[in-house]
Structure formats: C-alpha cells, structure tokens
Structure 1
Amino acid sequence: MSGPFDALRTRLHEAAAAFADGPGALEGILLGMVDDVDHAMREPMEIFPVCHHSPASAVAMARRLREKQPKVVYLELCEDMAPLLTELRNCRLPVAVQAFASEVEGFPAEWAPLSVVAPITEASAEYQAIAYALDTPGVELVLVDRSADHVFQWQQPETTPTDEDALHGDAIGVEIGDLRPRFAELEEHLLHHGKVRHWSEWWHQYVELPLGDSDHDTYRQVMFLIGSLFRRLAPGDPQRVRVDEDRERHMWTRMREHLAATGTDPADCLYVCGAFHAASRVAEFGVRGTDGFEISPRSASKWQYGLIPSSHAAIEAQFGLAAGSVSIAATEWAKNQRRTKVKPFQLAGQAGGRKAKKPVPPPAPVPEVAAMDQLSGFLRRPPVLDSLDEAELLGWSVEIVRAARRNGYLASTADAIAVFETSILLAGMRDRARPTPYDFQDAAITCIEKDVVPGRRDVGRLVEIMMGGDRIGQVGYDALPPLARDVHDRLAPLNLKLQQRGVQRALLDIAAHPELEPCSDLLWMLRYLMPHGAARPIMGERRLGERPIQESWDLAIGTHQRSLIELGYEGVSIEQVLEQRLRRAAYDPQATTARVLEAVEDATRYLHSPRLGGELGTHALEVLARERTVDGAPEVLRRVRRLLAYYRTSEPTLPSWIESFVRTGYAHYCTLLPMAFTEEDATVDQVAAMLGFLVSMESLALSLGCDRTQLELAVAQSHPEEPSKVALLWAAQVQLGRLSRAELRARCDDLLGNPLALPSYPRYLNGFVHALEPAPGLVDFVVEAMSNAFARLPDPLLLPWLPILITTLRSRGAQLVPLLIREAGRVFPGRLATLDEWVPPWHAQPELAPARAATGKGAALLAAHPATCDAMARLLGCAGSWQVAPAGAALLEEYPDTVMALEDLLAT
C-alpha cells in the first residue's frame, strides 16, 4: 500500500547506498525515521510535537489552536500540578510551577526536601495551550504526565539529578519538549558541521528560523523527524530508556481513560508533548493502544504546590542551555508575531501582559485534509535572505555601540560599521544565509571588547541585555501561599513595596511607634529562616531579655520571593515554621548539646515561648547525658551563662530544666575532667571551658544538692603532661585552695630558671591565659607571668610564641582581653617618664620570713596589745588566761611528739 512518504523513502535509500557503500545500519535509521513520522501522522488523535521555549513552536501552536479549536487539550505536564495553572493570571511570567515535599516518606532521607519545577514563559507552546484552554468556554485542559511523586519513584537513588541556580535551587526540572540530543557524539557532530558553538545556536539556526514561516503539516513532520532522530541515536541507558517509555505509557493510559470516561471524540482533542515522545513505539501508543500499564500509587510524602518566580537565566541553568538563549527566544517570539500576524493567546488579567482587547470572533475551523509529504520540500528548500534582517542588524550594531559607551568602552561609529560587516562575514564563513544573534555577539566581542573590560559587564553580557536581558518573573499576591500573604500583611505598616525586587531600607523607631514592634519580631524571624540578604539588620540587635528601641533594615523580600513561598509549604504561619525548624535542629540525631541550647536560645529570643524553650531544654539535658566528648564545652558554657543571666533577671524562679541541666552538667563534667586533661584530642580551650562551667556554676550546683567533693576528686585525679594543661591544673588548684599563690609563683620561677624547661614555658603561659575562664581572679598573676616572660625569655623562644598569644586572645577576646587590659592599666605606669623608676609590684613585695620569725612576731604583737587579744577571744568564745610561753629545752619537753617527728624528717 502506497503512502505519502514513499518518494522520501526512495531518496533516503539511495542516499544511504551512496554515502554508506550500500544499505545497512544507516538506511535502517533513515527509513525508520520516516516510518516514525508516518506512524505519528496516522494517529487519529492529533499529536502536536513541541520544543520548550521555542518561538516557532509557540507560533505554530497559536495558529493551530485558532484553526482546530479543540475541545480537549492533553498536555505533557505533571498531572498533580493542574490546580495551579489558573493562578498564572496573578503572575508576571516567567514563573515556574513547583511541587515541594519537606516531609519525605518512601524515599531516601538524604533526598529531602523534594522539589520539581516546570518553568513557563510567554514564548512557549504550552503557555499558548494553557491560555487557550483556560480562557475558552467549553475547553478542558488535562495534564497527563507522571506526578511529581512518580518523578522520584522512577529515579535511581545514585543518579538523582540536582542543579544549583539562583531561583530554582535543588529541583528536578520538568521540561516540555526536551529535544537536546543525549548522544554526545551526535551533538559534537552537529555542532562541528553546523559551525556553531553550542546546541542552542544550532537549534536557532537550523530549526527555529526555517520553521518560523512553515505551515502546520510541515512543522509537525519536521518535529516528528527530529524527535525520531534523537530517539534512535540516544545512548542505550536502560534506566533512561525505561523512564522515557514509562512516561509515554503513562500519558497514553491517562488519555484513553479520559476519552472513555467523557466519550470525547479523539478528532476534537489535541495532544501536546515533546517531539522526543511524539513518535513513540510503545504498545500503549495511540487511542487504539493496549491497556496493560499499571500506574503505581503515590508515596506517603506530603506534597505542597505553588508558583515560584523564574527567570531566563534560571531556565538556562536548569536545563543546560547557553547563556542568553532564552532571551533571544523571547526576542524571536516578538519578531515572529509581527511577521506572521499570528495573534497569541494570553490569560485574561495576566500580570505584566498587554491590556485585553475586545474579543475577536474566532475564524471558521479549517476542514481537515489528508497529510501530504512536506518533508521533501522542506529539506531541499534553500534559506531565503530577508531584507528586513539587514535593517535589524544595523539597528543592533548601533545599539550595542551605544550600550558599550555607557559601560566605559571607547566605541565609535566606526565600531558599529565594523560589527555590522563582521557579522555578515562570520555568517558567510559559517555557511549561513543571514547573521544570527550569535554571529552578532561574536562580532561585537571581536570589534569592541578588545582585551580590556572597563566596567562590570563585558560585551557578551551587553548583547544578552540588549536582546531582552534576564527577565525575572513575579508571583502575584493572590497566588501566594497563606504564609507569604500573612508576611506581607504584617509588614504593611512599614509602607514598603515588598513585591518589588531590589533592596529597600526600613526604619523602625519603636520607642516612638510601639505598633512597629511586631514588625521587628517578624523581621528577626525572617532573618533566621530566609537566605542571607532577604532581611539584613543595619542597626539593632536581638538579645535575650532586651526590647528593641530603634532598628534599621535592608529588605529584599521581593528578590527572595521563592524562599518565602517555600516557607509557605512548611506551615501556615512564620511562627509555626520557625518552631518546626527549631525542633528539627534540636532533635536531629547528630545534634550536640550546644546546638540544642542554641535552639533553646532562639526559641526564647524569637518566639518568646517558655513552653518550647522548656521542651528543648529538657532534650538538651538528655543529649548532654549521652555525650562522651568535650568538643562542645566552650559553646555550652557560653550559652548556659546567657540563659542563666536571662532567667535570673526576667523570671521569678529558674525553670526546672536549667536547674537539672546545671546539676547534671556538674556531675557530667566532673566525670570527664580527668580524661580530658590527659587526652590529646581535648584542647586546652575545651578543658578550660569545663573548669569554667564547674567553677562558675558551683554555688548553684551545691544549692541543688551537688557535692564539692566531686570537683576536688576530679582535680586530684587529673595528671596532665601537656604544659598548657599543667598550667590550667595549677590554676584550678589555686581556685580550690589546694595551692597557694606563693607556691604557684615559685613553680613559675623554677621553670624560668631551668634551661631545659624554657622552650615549653610559652605553652605554660598559654594555659594560664585560658585559666582566666575558670579563675578570673588570677588575672594579676597572669599579667605578672607574661611580664616575666617578656623580660626573661630569649627572642628565639619569645617571637614564635607571640602569634600563638595573639590568636588566643583574638579567639577569646570578649572574655579575656578586657580583664588583662584592665589589670595591666592598674599595674603599669600611666606615663612614660615614670617607667624608668617603676618597680613591678611583684618585685616590691617583701620576702616571706621564716615560720619561726613569723611566729615570734605574732606572739610579740599579741603581747603588745593584750586588750585586743582578750576581746577577740571573748568574741570567739575562748576561755583562758595569759601564760608565759616556754622557750628552748622547756618547749621541746612540753611537745615531745613534735620533736620525734622532726627527728624522723631529718633522718630521711
């Protein structure tokens, strides 16, 4: 039986024999492509193949919708996104339809959160189909592609794709009409022989421009042919092939289900899908296909849906397109409308669109005719040079010179002429009938940029801006989730245009306008939850127990609209989302005690919630009991001190959880202290923080039932070897009264007098500096020890130690530096003239007399003032009379036990 493509098959058979030295694999591919086109054209339901963000597809779609006026439009888009499409009226394109799941069930936990986006631009065929279906009475729009949940169900765990860009983030992109070839060698071959740099330029030159003026049958057959080519030459990845075929089975199954349920005639339907899927060979293809495909149920994950702002740059990054290609497509879309006089469809009330005109009666439907072979003529037709393109190129050349001047380039009229001629030259060298925007961009860079970029933008970027720039969409207020609308309503007293992109300054004089305090509370929560820059405080801070007086903020909420919308997927209010985030952080299996205490502090500071603070504080107690390391001791100490200071000043009594925390922490750190002193992994800062907790919390811990013996035993069992920890232990012994200052000073003098100990002396000083955490009363001794070190240590030891000292003081500056500076200011002379005569206080102290001399002086003092002695005795409850103290042999006879002990001591 003869068909419309028999002549084309004959020519391709001859071409295969000529180029491949006989029929073979090449002939099979070429003839198979024609069979695919014939197969798709014979389908009773009209298949409309498209390429995403293709102006030619958009023009062909608008033209065909007005001709055919289908009653049902089947669209290749996630079926669960259908309810969102009506909200496109409240947005300014481009935007992306998003499915988002933060609570993941049935998928690996490391995938969370799950996100799927489908960008929509004005220059896209699917937007034309959506606008037609939603604004035409009696027309039904049915989404037939797999759901967002199935996108992840059908994805291999180790191959889950994620892309980073400014607006779409970690999301899997769903693109209608993905026609980029997956066969790397094919793409390289096309780029090389097409004399283009990237795939976007190849598509623009060899598909977009030729199809811009083609009729409906030619458009469909060419798109079927291209889709078949890429499908047959795609790499044989079984996983990718299975997913592609399952998507096609899913879509045809959904369409037949809808046809059976509604009784719609397939001739009144239009199936819009990517050209890659249009000529499918699965058994379920077509309205007469088999019904053997079973669609699995969705997982238990909770999916949220909404619209997020998108941009040309975000779409290019999401789908690997060349920079500026989507902007060039938007320019071509406007150009095609003027040239073809095709009136596009647009949703009524579309934000950012043209004002709606009076409805024009639709043209009478064109009767259907049998499809003829249009491929042969299209493939043999040479490109035609349009004279209008030269005028357009001249306008581009003048405009890029003007833009270059504004950005600091020394461009002139001669450069405009050079760009014009070079564009034509490049197009000729690349076998093109007319220069494309990409040829013009190369010419502009060659003729204007030279080797210097005087401003922030290079010429390539200037060309992209001139071609339309990075257009950024916006989601309207009515299309925002309840949380985002609530944020806008609560910030209304600031009188700012929060929907507007860019940075705006907000000034809050809360002392004069107390009604602005709720705005301040909300801004601090937004600062915590949203990315950096969305809400940035310039003046003012939020501390525990303090009330705001005046604040200044830089707000860019419109710029970060996507982040605000995704907060709406997590809850109905900003407070609910913040509480969920704090709980999630505190109950994370990897959360440390310091991290849980941070959540307690944030709950108190931002939410003013004693209930949540108490719950998280109780959990912090459990986490502390499980910890077996001291890594977080410094942070734990700082946060517990802040919380204690807050509760003591703002609450009548301490919460029960913090009393339990202090009691448990005292016993916990006493247990770990000996091990921390000897372990190499425990730093001196961490050990000092443990001692700081034990010493500073001691009075409270003892009042709660702890025993000071625990600390004394822990210090007695500590036997460090590292010099800085040894110094820290000495400081702890002084704090506990187990070591006198005189003995500590003597040990330091011994170290300075021992040549073998001198190299390690700076490390002892490092320990003394850290000892100010548990024993701030030793600050005078630390100043003395550091002064002696500067005076007596040789330069080869002193100079390498100075950077360590500086970094130590810098890391602990808020606690240690003020103490040292205050003590140094008290000890050292205030004037340079008195420095030569200045004697350090520790050198001016009198030498300690022998014990016997001290005893003698004390007895003489008492004898000289008997009345004072009697008064003190009566006060202390002592009774007795004055006696003459024995001396010499009489004294020894009176105390024989002491004599025997002295003899034993001397004998040893």
Structure 2
Amino acid sequence: MTSPFDPLRDQLLGAAESLADGPAALPEILAGIVDDVDHALREPLEIFPVCHHSPASALAMLRRLREKQPKVIYLELCEDLQPLLTELRNCRLPVALQAFASELDGFPKESAPLSVIAPITESSAEYQAISYALDTPGVELVLVDRSTDHVFQWQPDVSSPADTPEPEDDLHGDAVGVEIGDLRPRFAELEEHLLHHGRVRHWSEWWDQYVEQPLAGADHETYRQVMVLIGSLFRRLAPHDTKRYASDEDRERYMWTRIREHLGRSGADPADCLYICGAFHAASRVAEAGSAPGTPDFAITPRTGTTWLYGLIPSSHSAIESQFGLAPGSVSIAATTWQKQLLKLRLTPFRLEGQKGARKTKKALPLPAASNGPVVDHLTGYLAGPPVLDGLDEEELRGWCVDIVRLARRNGYLASTADAIAVFETSVLLAGMRGRVRPTPYDFQDAAVTCIEKDTVPGRRDVRRLCEILLGGDRIGQVGYEALPPLARDVYDRLAPLELDLEQRSIQRALLDLSARPELAGCSQLLWMLRYLLPDQAVRPIMGSRKLGERHIQESWDLDLGRNQRAVIELGYEGVTVEQVLEQRLRRDAWDPKATAATALKAVENSLLFLESPRLTDELGARAIELLAAERTVDDAPDVLRRIRRLLGHYRATAPVLPGWCGRFVTEGYAHYCTLLPTAFVEEETGVRQVGAMLGFLFSMESLALSLGCDRTQLEIAVRQSHPESPAKIALLWAALHQLGVLPLTDLRVRVGELLGNPLVVPSFPQYVSGFVQALEPVPRLAPFVVETLSQAFARLPDPVLLPWLPNLITTLKQQAAELVPVLTREAGRTFPGSLAALDSWTAPWNAPPRARPSAGPGDAAGLSGPSGPAGAAAALLAANPAAADAVATMLGCEGGWTPLTTETGGDAAVVGLLTAYPATAEAVAELIGA
C-alpha cells in the first residue's frame, strides 16, 4: 500500500546513504520514524501527542477540541485519580492530584508512605481536555493509564524509585511524579548534541526555540505529525534493554487495553473519540496497540491490598520544574507564552466553571465539526524550510527592560535607565550571536544578569530570580475549602474564632487572651497540636509555651497555613481529626523498631500535653517499661532521668496517687541500672554523663523504689562491684560511696589532697574534677565540696595543666551538664564574699581552723552528758532545742514529755545507740550545722 510519506522516506534514506561515515543504524532509524508517523496517523482512533506544560500542545489541543468536538476523550493519567478531576473547579491552579498510602499491604513496610502526584497547570493540553469534557454535556472523559497501585508494582525498588526523578521542592515532598507526555531525551549524547548546535544552555530553552515557537501557529496535521516524529526519534534512540523502556511499553499495552475495553462496553465510534498521550507513547508499535477489536489484550495484574487515599495538594511552577528536571523559570515562561499566544491568535481557552483564579472570558462559539480526511504529508514542507519565527518586538523587549530595572531597584540594586538600555542592546546582541531574530526570555535573562548584577547580590534575590518573577513568577496553587479533606476543613472550622483569613498566603499574627476570651482555649489546644505535627514555619508560637504544669493566659502565634496548605492536607490522609493523627503518630514513634525508653517517655509527655487520654498514656508508659527492660546500653540514661523526673513531679502535683506504670518503671529502672552499673563504669564507650545519670536515677528514685519493694542491697552490691579505671569515673564512684555512707566527707577530702600532692597524678586531676562536677547529678549535696575542689584546682594546678583544661571544662559543662551550672553558681555565691572589699579579709571555709566546741550550757547542769564526737553534738542540739523535738514526736504520734538525755536514762541510751550505729548521718547533720 502506497503511503503519502513514501517520498519523504526515500529522501531520508538517500541522505543516510550519503553519510557513509554515519552510524550503521541510521537508515533504519530515519525510515523507522517516518513509518511510525504513518502508522500513528492511520489509526482509526485519533491519537493526539502532547508534551506536558507545553503552550504549543495546549494551543493545538484547544483548536482541535473546538473543531472535532469529540464525544469520548481517553487521557493518559492514572485511572484511579478520575474522581478528583471534578474538584479542580474548587482550586486555584497549579495544583497536583495525589494518591497517598501510609499503611501498606503488598509492598515493603519500610517504604511507607507511598505517594504519586500529577501536577496540572492551565497552560497544559490535559487541563484543556479536562475542562472541555467536564463542562460539555454528553462528553465522557476516561483515564486509561495504570493505577497508582500499578505504578509501584512496576517499580524495581519501591523504597527508592530510580526510574522516576526525585522532586526536591517541599510542595511535592517525596512523592513519585507522574510524567505526562515527557519528551526529555533519556541519553546524554543526543541532548548534548542538540544543545551545542542549537546554541542554548539547557533542554527547556532548546524546546522553546525549536519546537514551541514553530508549532505555536501550526495547523493540526502539521503539529500532530511533527510531535509523533519527535516522539518516534527519541523512542528509537532510547536504549531498549532498560527497565524504563520495558515499563513504558507495558504502560502502552495497559492504556490500549483499557481503551478497547471502554469501546466495547460503551459502543462508542472511534471516529468520535480522541486519545491524548505523550508523544513518546504516540509512536508505540507494541502488538497490543490499536483500537481494532481483534488486537490482543494485555494481562493486567490485580491491585494489592493497599488502601489508597486521594486528594488535591497545592503545586507551584518551581515544584513542577524540580519534579521533571526542567530549567528554573521554564514553567513560568511557558505560562506567559500561553497567555501571549491566546491574545495573538484570539483564542478563548476552556476553563472549568467556577475555577478559582481564572479570568472571566466570553463563551467561545464552537467551530464546525471536522471530519477525519485522508492523510496528507505535512512533514516534508515543514522539514524542508526554516521555521517561521516572529521578528523583534521592540515594545515587548523595552517593557521587559524597564520592568527589570524597576524590580532590581526595589531589591537593592543600583540600577538606572542606562542599565535598561544596556539590557535591551545586549539582549538583541545575544540573540544575533545565537542565530535568533527575536530575543527569547532566556536571552533577556542572560543580558539582565550581565548588565545589572555586576559583582554582588544586595538582597535575597539575584537578577536571574527577578527575571523569573518578571516573566511569570513562581505561581503557587491553592486547594479550595470544598476540595479539602475532612481533617483540613475541621482545622479551618475550629480556628474560625481567631477571625483570620487562613487561606491568605502571608504570615498572620494571632493574639489569644485566654482570660478575657476563654472560648479561645480550644484554638490554643489545636494550635499546639498543629505545632507538633506540621513544619516549623506553618505554626510558630511567639509568646507562650506548652510544658507540664504550665498554663498561659496569653499567647501569640504566627500562622502561615496558606503557604503550608499541602502539609495540612496530607494530615487528612492519616486520619479524620487532628487528635486521631496525633495519637497515631505517638503510637508509631513508641512502637518504632528503633524506639528507646526515652522515645516512649517523650510520647507519654506529649500525650499528657495534647491529648489528656489516660488510656493512651498508660499504653505508652507500659511500652516505655518494655523498652527499658530490653535496652543493653545506657546511652539514653540522661534523657530517661530528665523525663521521668518531670513526669513524676507532674503526677505528684496533679494526681492523688501515681499511675501504676510509673511505679513499675521506677522499680524496673532501679533493677535495670543496678545490673548495668558495674559494666558501665568499666566500658570506655559509656561516658561519664551516662554513668552520672544512672547514679542519679538510682539515688533520686531510691526512696520510691524501696517503698515499692526494691532492695537497697542490690545497689550497694552494684557499687562495690564497680572498678572504674578512668579518673572521671573514679570520682563518680567516690561520690556514690559517699552517698551510701561508706566514704565520709573527711576521707574524701583526704583522697583529693593526696591526688594534688602526687606529681604523677596532677596532670589527670582535671578529669577527677570533671567527674566530681558530673557527680552533682546523683549527689547534689556535694556542691560545697565540688566548689572547694574547683578552687583547690585553680589554686594549686600548674598553668600547663590548668589552662588547656579550662576550655574543655567549659565545653563539657555547656554540652552535657548545663543544668548543673546553676547549682555550682549558687553554691559559689554562698561560699565566696559578695564584695571586692570583703575579699581581702576572707578565708576559705576549707582553710579556716576548726571551731571550738561551745562550752557546757544549762543542759549539762540538768545532767546532759553523752558521747563525744558527732553523736554528742547531736545530743546537745536536741537538748538545747526541745520544742523542735517535741513537735517531731507529736507528728510521729509519740507520747510523753521531754526526758533529759543522760547515759543512765533509757531514752538517752536509745538515742546514743542510734547515733553510734549510724555515724554517717550524725556527721552529715553536724557538718550542715557547722558543729
């Protein structure tokens, strides 16, 4: 059968033969692309090839829809996204259709969440087709591309989809982008060749110069044949042995199978239908391609059990550029080109009825319906001559130059009228050097950077970014209230008492006076939950905080929900209310495989702050106990100690009794840390901070643990079995022995004096001091001794040892023991004189001579006598202050009057025996009172 493209095929084959040094496959490629065009045009179902976000494709689609008026439109888009299309009329473009799944069934659990997005802009052929189909009675729109589930089924590695470009913009997150009509070459050689000979920098500029502009005013058949030709060229040059190519062919089989199913089910005439797909797929030659009834079908696998959630999220020009690897500013330039061509060609685009942000346009009259005539060769004439491009538009270029200078001055540049003239002339010069009659936006951008930016950027935006703003800006879409998921609508409704326009794309200040307006307490609670769930810039407190035991009567917030609408929308994929999502997040954190006891305690604290759910709190507390018992390291001991102390303090202040999980956590932690203590003292991997936190837990929780049934002997044995080697941990062990009453303070002073007197130990003495500082966590009553030790170190250590140690001490205190610094500061304030004048006559307490005992008082005349030493001092104190002793006795329920303490009375014998049996207690009391 003869073809209208036979002369073109012969001409190309002749050109291939003349290139004897060309690739061996060149004749096959050149003949093949002509055959692909002929094959695509002979298909009874009209194939309309497009490039996404292409003004030329959108213009050709607009004209073809008005001419053909198809009854059925098959669109290359995930078939399960179809219910979302009607919600586009409630949005301001650009937005993205999204499918989201966080709970997976049939995919690796670690790959969650999975997300697919398909951005829609007004200057895209797909949007024109959607608008025409939804607002024209009797027209059916059918999405035929693989479902979202199949997108990930066909990914070789769901957790890291290598075949799909990773978006970098925060509006699209880590979603997989669905490339509709992508025409970017998949190999560097062809792209490099085209960019070099086209005298352009990137693919977007080449496409605009050699495809967009020539095809903007082309007739339908010329546009269609050229686009299929380009798609066939890229298809034949792409490597056929890759998974990407096999996946593309499977997509084509899938789409044609769905098309034939619909044709058979609906009985539609292929002549009244239109199939819109990417130019790459329009040149498909798979066996399953075609609308004929006898064409074999593709076996479509069933979907997995994963439940997909669907919605719309805001998109932006920069997000689309990042997702599909386009040059910055290219989508904005395309949008500007689209508006310009509409005015030039006097076309009225299709827009969804009620579309937000759309300009009001007059209703366009439909053109007479066009019939499919015989195929005519338009390629030969198009390829034979140069493209017809517009000449220099001085008025447009002059307007650009004036506006960029005005915009540059607003952003801190010292630009003037001379710079505007220079940009104009340089743009014309660059266009001429690159073989162009009319400067493109990219030529103008290069000229503006050259003439205005000079050496430095005075503000946040450079000139290239200013050009992008001037030529269209980074337009950001918005999803309307009616199209939001229930959770997002609930958020807007609950924040309505703030009387702010939360859809506004700017930061708004919310002032909450909870004492004057108690009804705003619900807004405050919601804002704190959103603060936990959303990015920092979405909801930011300026005044007020949320901690255990705190309640503020006034708060102020900076709200930027308009620009962070996507984050609010995606919360709706996780639950119906914010409280439900927060509970799920807390459970997920606590039951994460990498969760620790500190993580679970943090979840417990957040549940108390935000949800006030005793059931959830008890579950999270039980999980914390489980994680603590399973831990084999003590890396998180400081965090565990800080959080459990805060929780215990909260419950003691607000609840009549401690929850059961708190008691179990204390007893489990007491036994757990006693078991790990000897090993932690020896291991080099365990830091001094961690050991100090363990001892802090054991000593500070000791009274509660003993009341709940723990045995103090376990702690004593653990301390005695500890044999550290590093100086800092040795100091910690001495502090623990002192706390247990084994090492008196006088003996501890003796050991420190021996360290300072030993020349071999002096270089490592700062490490002992660091250990004593960390010992303030488990033994806070050692603060006077630590101040004394630090003073001794500053006084007696030589400069070569002291000076290098000081920065390390300051860094350690700042990073690991910031809460201990106030303890040392207060103790130093009590120890050292308060004025400079008093310093000359001041004597350090540890250097002062021991004070003499007070002479016998009236108590001795009454027969007061007793043992010497601390026991005697305590007895004298009791005899001198009988009222205090009587008050304590009354509180304890002891009856009887005051009996003078003598060695002959039974009471005296009991007290003296008690003081003798526990000398450490008597010594501590004596030291505190200065006896």
- Is the structural similarity TM-score above 0.5? yes
Counterpart of 2:374 in structure 1 is 370
Counterpart of 2:194 in structure 1 is 190
List structure 1 segments (4+ residues) > 6 angstroms apart after TM superposition. Answer: 854-863
Q: Secondary structure at the match of 1:48?
A: strand
2:298 to 284, 293, 299: 293
Once residues 283 and 610 of structure 2 are traced to their aligned partners in structure 1, the CA distance between those partners, rounded to angstroms, is: 57
Is residue 392–residue 438 contact of structure 2 (8 Å, CA) maintained in 1? no
The alignment status of 1:233 with 2:255, answered yes or no, reads: no
Once residues 216 and 291 of structure 2 are traced to their aligned partners in structure 1, the CA distance between those partners, rounded to angstroms, is: 30
Is residue 348–residue 356 contact of structure 1 (8 Å, CA) maintained in 2? no
Q: Secondary structure at the match of 1:103?
A: coil
Write the letter of the residue equivalent to 2:340.
K
Once residues 348 and 167 of structure 1 are traced to their aligned partners in structure 2, the CA distance between those partners, rounded to angstroms, is: 26
Once residues 494 and 450 of structure 1 are traced to their aligned partners in structure 2, the CA distance between those partners, rounded to angstroms, is: 47
CA deviation vs aligned residue, 1:65-92 (integer Å, no higher than 9, x gap)? 0111111000000000000000000100
Counterpart of 1:279 in structure 2 is 283
Is residue 17–residue 23 contact of structure 1 (8 Å, CA) maintained in 2? no
Cα deviation, residue 111, structure 1: 2.0
Write the letter of the residue equivalent to 2:324.
F
Q: Secondary structure at the match of 1:97?
A: strand
Change (3 A) 1:716 1:217: same
Q: List aligned pairs for 1:103-182, cutoff 5 A.
A: 103-157=103-157, 159-160=161-162, 161=164, 162-182=166-186
CA deviation vs aligned residue, 1:358-378 (integer Å, no higher than 9, x gap)? x45422212332121001111
CA deviation vs aligned residue, 1:795-816 (integer Å, no higher than 9, x gap)? 1111111122212322355531
Cα deviation, residue 406, structure 1: 2.5
Change (3 A) 1:633 1:857: closer
Write the letter of the residue equivalent to 1:700.
L
Cα deviation, residue 27, structure 1: 1.4
Counterpart of 2:460 in structure 1 is 456
Once residues 22 and 859 of structure 1 are traced to their aligned partners in structure 2, the CA distance between those partners, rounded to angstroms, is: 109
Change (3 A) 1:742 1:858: closer
How many residues align? The count is: 872
1:591 to 590, 595, 601: 595
Once residues 343 and 142 of structure 1 are traced to their aligned partners in structure 2, the CA distance between those partners, rounded to angstroms, is: 24
Cα deviation, residue 860, structure 1: 12
Is residue 689–residue 816 contact of structure 2 (8 Å, CA) maintained in 1? no
Once residues 211 and 383 of structure 1 are traced to their aligned partners in structure 2, the CA distance between those partners, rounded to angstroms, is: 9
Q: CA RMSD in A?
A: 2.1
Once residues 349 and 591 of structure 2 are traced to their aligned partners in structure 1, the CA distance between those partners, rounded to angstroms, is: 53
CA deviation vs aligned residue, 1:578-625 (integer Å, no higher than 9, x gap)? 000000000011101101111111111111111111001011111111
Counterpart of 2:778 in structure 1 is 774
Counterpart of 1:887 in structure 2 is none
Counterpart of 1:319 in structure 2 is 324
Cα deviation, residue 356, structure 1: 5.5
Cα deviation, residue 563, structure 1: 0.8
Is residue 517–residue 548 contact of structure 1 (8 Å, CA) maintained in 2? no
Counterpart of 1:65 in structure 2 is 65
Counterpart of 1:639 in structure 2 is 643
Cα deviation, residue 457, structure 1: 2.0
Once residues 814 and 873 of structure 1 are traced to their aligned partners in structure 2, the CA distance between those partners, rounded to angstroms, is: 54
Once residues 223 and 86 of structure 1 are traced to their aligned partners in structure 2, the CA distance between those partners, rounded to angstroms, is: 29
Is residue 384–residue 433 contact of structure 1 (8 Å, CA) maintained in 2? no
Cα deviation, residue 424, structure 1: 2.0
Once residues 870 and 462 of structure 2 are traced to their aligned partners in structure 1, the CA distance between those partners, rounded to angstroms, is: 90
Cα deviation, residue 845, structure 1: 4.0
Is residue 544–residue 646 contact of structure 1 (8 Å, CA) maintained in 2? yes
Write the letter of the residue equivalent to 1:348.
E
232-241 or 575-584: which moved more?
A: 232-241
Q: List aligned pairs for 1:650-661, cutoff 5 A.
A: 650-661=654-665
CA deviation vs aligned residue, 1:166-189 (integer Å, no higher than 9, x gap)? 210111111211000112100000
121-130 or 232-241: which moved more?
A: 232-241
Counterpart of 1:263 in structure 2 is 267
Cα deviation, residue 714, structure 1: 0.9
Write the letter of the residue equivalent to 1:718.
S
Is residue 391–residue 438 contact of structure 2 (8 Å, CA) maintained in 1? no
Change (3 A) 1:421 1:384: farther
Counterpart of 1:474 in structure 2 is 478
Is residue 680–residue 686 contact of structure 2 (8 Å, CA) maintained in 1? yes
The alignment status of 1:706 with 2:710, answered yes or no, reads: yes
56-65 or 237-246: which moved more?
A: 237-246
Counterpart of 1:744 in structure 2 is 748
Cα deviation, residue 721, structure 1: 1.1
Write the letter of the residue equivalent to 2:420.
A
Change (3 A) 1:23 1:594: closer
Counterpart of 2:907 in structure 1 is 876
1:562 to 563, 566, 572: 566
Counterpart of 1:834 in structure 2 is 838
Is residue 392–residue 437 contact of structure 2 (8 Å, CA) maintained in 1? no
Counterpart of 1:696 in structure 2 is 700
Cα deviation, residue 848, structure 1: 11
The alignment status of 1:379 with 2:383, answered yes or no, reads: yes
CA deviation vs aligned residue, 1:238-268 (integer Å, no higher than 9, x gap)? 2111100000000000000000001001111
Once residues 578 and 859 of structure 1 are traced to their aligned partners in structure 2, the CA distance between those partners, rounded to angstroms, is: 59
The alignment status of 1:443 with 2:474, answered yes or no, reads: no
Write the letter of the residue equivalent to 1:143.
L
Cα deviation, residue 315, structure 1: 0.4
Is residue 40–residue 279 contact of structure 1 (8 Å, CA) maintained in 2? yes
CA deviation vs aligned residue, 1:837-882 (integer Å, no higher than 9, x gap)? 1111111142999xxxx9789999999x9x9976564351759xxx
Write the letter of the residue equivalent to 2:303.
R
Once residues 105 and 172 of structure 1 are traced to their aligned partners in structure 2, the CA distance between those partners, rounded to angstroms, is: 18
Counterpart of 1:11 in structure 2 is 11
Write the letter of the residue equivalent to 2:325.
G
| Residue segments in structure 1 that go unaligned for 5+ positions in a row | 880-908
Is residue 36–residue 279 contact of structure 1 (8 Å, CA) maintained in 2? yes
Cα deviation, residue 292, structure 1: 3.6
Q: List aligned pairs for 1:293-692, cutoff 5 A.
A: 293-355=298-360, 357=362, 359-387=363-391, 389-692=393-696
Write the letter of the residue equivalent to 1:736.
L
439-448 or 49-58: which moved more?
A: 439-448
Change (3 A) 1:858 1:816: closer
Counterpart of 2:860 in structure 1 is none
Cα deviation, residue 405, structure 1: 2.6
| Residue segments in structure 2 that go unaligned for 5+ positions in a row | 854-865, 880-897, 911-931
Change (3 A) 1:591 1:388: same
CA deviation vs aligned residue, 1:461-486 (integer Å, no higher than 9, x gap)? 11111101100000011100000000
620-629 or 574-583: which moved more?
A: 620-629
Change (3 A) 1:349 1:312: same
Change (3 A) 1:37 1:790: same
Cα deviation, residue 23, structure 1: 9.7
607-616 or 154-163: which moved more?
A: 154-163
Is residue 669–residue 690 contact of structure 1 (8 Å, CA) maintained in 2? yes
Q: Secondary structure at the match of 2:129?
A: helix
Q: Secondary structure at the match of 2:542?
A: strand
Is residue 596–residue 619 contact of structure 1 (8 Å, CA) maintained in 2? yes
Counterpart of 1:897 in structure 2 is none
- Percent of aligned pairs sharing the same letter: 69
Write the letter of the residue equivalent to 1:616.
L
The alignment status of 1:89 with 2:89, answered yes or no, reads: yes
Change (3 A) 1:310 1:643: same
Write the letter of the residue equivalent to 1:188.
E
Cα deviation, residue 403, structure 1: 2.1
Counterpart of 1:727 in structure 2 is 731
Counterpart of 1:30 in structure 2 is 30
Q: Secondary structure at the match of 2:787?
A: helix
Once residues 394 and 234 of structure 1 are traced to their aligned partners in structure 2, the CA distance between those partners, rounded to angstroms, is: 43
Write the letter of the residue equivalent to 1:327.
S
